[in-house]
């Protein structure tokens, strides 16, 4: 649909040089007489001969009128849609036209009287055409050398605005505004039909809702809120007179640009109301002494102005993929921007604020690093917060982006970043699922050359019959470890051998079932970019914080995976339910398996763990990760009620991945990047505030799992150096092979 934004209907005043000439006045009069005669013909359905006026006969005009449609199609008016948080607060509005339709009884009587007085004072007395009013307006405007009073009836104006609003092409828009008798006759024919089919109140209500009031405000409710921050039903005389004066020429009388013009036009409306005895002369003069008393509210259209811009962007991307809202993304977005929808979402603004504070405190917007955090509720998949350090916008110098780094690529256009050792949990869960005891000891040397033939793929054959995966541990030391200590210390050679027991296929498929978008199992023809490879547990796949928080929420929910859900329901413009979005949860691992993973990972956050500085007021578990080359660091942690993934990744102003070491991050130059010391504090700061409004809840102890708790020995704790200096983190640098022995960042 062609937008009707900035449509105007004639100049404010006509200079003397453009004063209507006598011949033109008589020409207009002649046309009106002819139209009046034809109107009688059309209404009565008779073809009565009438003397020709200005070169054409009534019969000819009547024939033309009879060829026109007898009914005006009045489609629903475009309305802005509102996005709400879980508590019902507005977090964003999106629209093509800033409009909120209201019933006539929701518009103040003063406003109704003002618009009728200045535009069509005999509206409730005449039919589609007010010949007397048109003659009066023509003569008044001629005497004033400009347009002072409207000549068209409100019904005719409504018809014109409707045709403009429903124009689907430039040609249709031009036809709707063309200054020809044919266009005026067409409007009149439609106006007659509208008067026959609808009440005067219906016509006035649609007129007040469709009219453009300038500065982006469509309809009386949007105009009242925009200029005065009141509802249409509460407009007073001063406000009503100003708004009533705007419709004649919204751009020229725009009070945000031409306050004096708007005030003069308001006074004309007040004088007209006094002349018609709608108000007293004293009341008019008293009101004219007042200023406009504007309280202009900025038009905040779209996610850029949202209290949660990247969550808002995620919601729109999510809905654009819903076939129930239209045949294609464009049609779905058109519905969202014009359908007057109420979109109920899952976001909790308390948690969003906590997340924003945590991210912004540790990564600044103009730095060559990106900080991100996603918070999900286990058991529902409800997305509670999405935060990132780079603001939304188009200013490259300010490092603004519309890329949403917190969500999967198909929903945010960002590729994501490698998640490093946070992927080890998928091998861990699979091992427990197939019966590996938690106390099983694996001798894990400082370095290892693992033959590819020892890794079974999905077809039951080895990953490859030749070649090795060469890797080493973060501390270049050997360990004798079980599932507790091997995970808490994040021992690479331990996991290389544990994966030989699980194979590479089942952990890969489990990760997908838990919400990780793995799309390249075997890579291209040369094997480049493969994700289902022996080095899979070192997190070589690019992922987003939302994927990781969704996956770890599965453990918190005791093996029940729930798809991330940003929207719970959509209401139509009449507040009727349009669609519900229920939770989509499926069991992917046994409860006992998830309980065992939780018991192992809680040691990472408890005394002696890599992330013990991030301990909460209630039980928590988590896993750190640092990629090869230190281009990204992660901490993914959770409680029984919330899962959150924090990430910091090196990225220049163009979004190209770079190493974190040596960069200014959070205002300080950083070296020795690690998941616990860099990403962990983001998670801790946010979750320590979030858990304040959550009830205390503990994990379930895995009593039925073999080896549970038997070898839980705290890692010797080094002297505390503070959050930037913990050098006991897991580190996969130099070891993220892509399956052919080559390192991959």
What's residue 263's pLDDT? 97
What's residue 75's pLDDT? 87
Residues 6+ apart with CB under 8 A from 196: none
Range 425-434 average pLDDT: 98
> What pLDDT digit, counting tens, does each position of 650-664 carry?
988 777 888 999 999
CB 650 within 8 A of CB 390: no
* CA 158 – CA 472 distance, rounded (Å): 76
* CA 54 – CA 93 distance, rounded (Å): 52
Which one of 3.30.720.210, 1.10.3810.10, 1.10.3720.10, 3.40.50.300 gives the CATH number of domain 16-28+100-173+196-288?
1.10.3810.10
* CA 497 – CA 485 distance, rounded (Å): 14
Pairing of strands 417-418, 542-543: antiparallel
pLDDT confidence tier of residue 722, bands split at 50, 70 and 90? very low
Rg (CA), the chain: 35
Residues 6+ apart with CB under 8 A from 108: 232, 233, 234, 235, 236, 240
DSSP letter for 402, please: S
Does residue 412 come out as left (phi exceeding 0), alpha (psi in the -120 to 50 range) or beta? alpha
Residue 37 has pLDDT above 60, yes or no: no
Span of 136-145, 220-229, 250-259, 400-409 with lowest mean pLDDT? 136-145
pLDDT confidence tier of residue 22, bands split at 50, 70 and 90? low
pLDDT confidence tier of residue 49, bands split at 50, 70 and 90? very low
Span of 310-324, 484-498, 592-606, 621-635 with lowest mean pLDDT? 621-635
For the chain, the average pLDDT equals 85
pLDDT confidence tier of residue 491, bands split at 50, 70 and 90? very high
What's residue 529's pLDDT? 79
What's residue 12's pLDDT? 32
What's residue 495's pLDDT? 98
What's residue 67's pLDDT? 57
pLDDT confidence tier of residue 13, bands split at 50, 70 and 90? very low
Name which residue leads in pLDDT, 112 or 742. 112
What's residue 251's pLDDT? 94
> What pLDDT digit, counting tens, does each position of 504-552 carry?
999 999 999 999 999 888 875 445 678 999 999 999 999 999 999 999 9
* CA 194 – CA 161 distance, rounded (Å): 13
CB 601 within 8 A of CB 555: yes
Span of 106-120, 164-178, 474-488, 633-647 with lowest mean pLDDT? 164-178
What's residue 182's pLDDT? 74
> What pLDDT digit, counting tens, does each position of 233-288 carry?
999 999 999 999 999 999 999 999 999 999 999 999 999 999 999 999 999 999 99
* CA 696 – CA 85 distance, rounded (Å): 24
The most confident of the ranges 71-85, 203-217, 604-618, 731-745 is 203-217
Residue 401 has pLDDT above 80, yes or no: no
Q: Which of 4, 50, 2, 38 is nearest to 186 (CA)?
A: 38
- Strands (E) across 307-368 are located at 342-345
Residue 594 has pLDDT above 90, yes or no: yes
The most confident of the ranges 167-171, 301-305, 500-504, 740-744 is 500-504
What's residue 299's pLDDT? 84
Range 614-630 average pLDDT: 89
Residue 736 has pLDDT above 80, yes or no: no
Range 210-228 average pLDDT: 96
> What pLDDT digit, counting tens, does each position of 343-390 carry?
999 999 999 999 999 999 999 998 999 999 999 999 999 999 999 999
What's residue 424's pLDDT? 98
Q: Which helix (H) or strand (E) holds 62?
A: helix 58-66
CA dist list (Å): 22 to 18, 29, 151, 179, 600 = 12, 10, 18, 19, 95
Range 49-67 average pLDDT: 44
pTM for the structure as a whole: 0.83
Name which residue leads in pLDDT, 54 or 419. 419
pLDDT confidence tier of residue 229, bands split at 50, 70 and 90? very high
Q: What are phi and psi of 470, to 5 degrees?
A: -100, 125
What's residue 54's pLDDT? 38
> What pLDDT digit, counting tens, does each position of 137-187 carry?
656 656 665 555 556 899 999 999 998 888 877 777 777 777 776 777 888
> What pLDDT digit, counting tens, does each position of 102-144 carry?
999 999 999 999 999 999 999 999 988 877 766 666 566 566 6
CB 538 within 8 A of CB 499: no
Q: What are phi and psi of 349, to 5 degrees?
A: -65, -25
Structure tokens at 313: 């962007």
Q: What are phi and psi of 206, to 5 degrees?
A: -65, -40
């Amino acid at each position: 649909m062609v937008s009707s934004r900035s449509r105007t209907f004639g100049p404010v005043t006509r200079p003397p040089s453009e004063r209507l000439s006598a011949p033109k006045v008589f020409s207009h009069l002649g046309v009106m007489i002819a139209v009046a005669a034809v109107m009688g013909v059309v209404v009565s359905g008779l073809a009565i001969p009438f003397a020709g006026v200005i070169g054409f006969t009534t019969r000819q005009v009547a024939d033309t009128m009879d060829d026109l449609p007898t009914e005006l199609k009045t489609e629903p008016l475009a309305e802005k849609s509102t996005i709400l948080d879980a508590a019902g607060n507005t977090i964003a509005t999106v629209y093509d036209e800033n409009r909120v339709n209201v019933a006539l009884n929701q518009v103040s009587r003063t406003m109704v009287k003002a618009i009728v007085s200045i535009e069509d004072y005999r509206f409730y007395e005449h039919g589609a055409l007010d010949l007397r009013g048109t003659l009066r307006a023509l003569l008044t405007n001629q005497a004033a050398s400009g347009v002072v009073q409207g000549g068209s009836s409100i019904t005719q104006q409504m018809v014109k605005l409707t045709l403009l609003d429903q124009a689907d092409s430039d040609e249709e828009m031009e036809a709707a505004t063309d200054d020809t008798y044919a266009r005026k006759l067409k409007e009149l024919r439609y106006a007659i039909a509208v008067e026959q089919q609808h009440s005067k109140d219906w016509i006035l209500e649609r007129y007040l809702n469709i009219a453009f009031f300038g500065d982006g405000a469509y309809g009386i409710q949007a105009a009242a809120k925009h200029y005065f921050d009141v509802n249409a039903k509460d407009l007073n005389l001063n406000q009503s007179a100003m708004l009533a004066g705007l419709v004649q020429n919204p751009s020229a009388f725009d009070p945000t640009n031409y306050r004096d013009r708007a005030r003069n036009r308001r006074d004309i409306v007040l004088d007209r109301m006094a002349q018609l005895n709608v108000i007293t002369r004293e009341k008019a003069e008293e009101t004219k002494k007042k200023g406009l008393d504007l309280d202009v509210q900025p038009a905040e259209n779209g996610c850029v102005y949202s209290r949660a811009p990247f969550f808002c962007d995620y919601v729109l991307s999510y809905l654009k993929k819903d076939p129930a809202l239209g045949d294609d993304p464009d049609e779905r977005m058109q519905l969202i921007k014009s359908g007057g929808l109420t979109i109920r979402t899952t976001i909790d603004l308390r948690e969003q604020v906590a997340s924003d504070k945590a991210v912004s405190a540790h990564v600044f917007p103009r730095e060559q690093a990106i900080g991100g955090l996603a918070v999900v509720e286990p058991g529902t998949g409800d997305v509670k917060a999405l935060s990132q350090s780079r603001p939304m916008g188009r200013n490259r110098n300010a490092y603004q982006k519309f890329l949403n780094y917190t969500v999967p690529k198909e929903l945010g256009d960002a590729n994501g970043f490698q998640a490093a050792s946070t992927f080890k949990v998928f091998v861990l869960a699979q091992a427990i699922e197939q019966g590996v005891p938690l106390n099983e000891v694996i001798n894990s040397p400082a370095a290892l050359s693992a033959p590819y033939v020892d890794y079974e793929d999905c077809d039951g054959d080895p990953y490859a019959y030749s070649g090795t995966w060469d890797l080493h541990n973060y501390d270049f030391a050997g360990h004798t470890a079980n599932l507790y200590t091997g995970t808490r210390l994040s021992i690479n050679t331990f996991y290389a051998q544990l994966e030989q027991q699980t194979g590479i296929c089942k952990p890969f498929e489990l990760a997908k079932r838990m919400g990780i978008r793995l799309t390249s199992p075997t890579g291209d023809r040369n094997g480049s970019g493969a994700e289902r490879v022996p080095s899979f547990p070192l997190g070589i796949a690019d992922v987003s914080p939302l994927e990781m928080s969704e996956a770890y929420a599965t453990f918190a929910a005791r093996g029940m995976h729930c798809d991330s859900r940003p929207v719970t329901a959509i209401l139509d413009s009449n507040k009727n339910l349009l669609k519900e979005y229920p939770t989509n949860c499926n069991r992917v691992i046994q409860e006992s398996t998830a309980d065992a993973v939780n018991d192992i990972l809680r040691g990472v956050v408890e005394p002696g763990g890599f992330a013990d500085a991030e301990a909460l007021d209630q039980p928590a578990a988590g896993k750190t990760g640092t990629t090869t080359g230190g281009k990204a660091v992660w901490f993914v942690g959770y409680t029984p009620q919330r899962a959150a993934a924090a990430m910091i990744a090196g990225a220049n102003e163009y979004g190209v991945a770079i190493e974190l070491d040596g960069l200014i991050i959070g205002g300080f130059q950083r070296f020795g990047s690690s998941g616990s010391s860099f990403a962990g504090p983001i998670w801790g700061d946010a979750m320590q505030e979030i858990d304040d409004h959550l009830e205390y809840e503990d994990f379930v102890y895995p009593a039925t799992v073999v080896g549970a708790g038997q070898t839980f020995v705290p890692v010797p704790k080094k002297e505390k150096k503070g959050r930037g200096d913990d050098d006991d983190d897991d580190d996969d640098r130099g070891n993220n092979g892509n399956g052919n022995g080559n390192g991959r960042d």
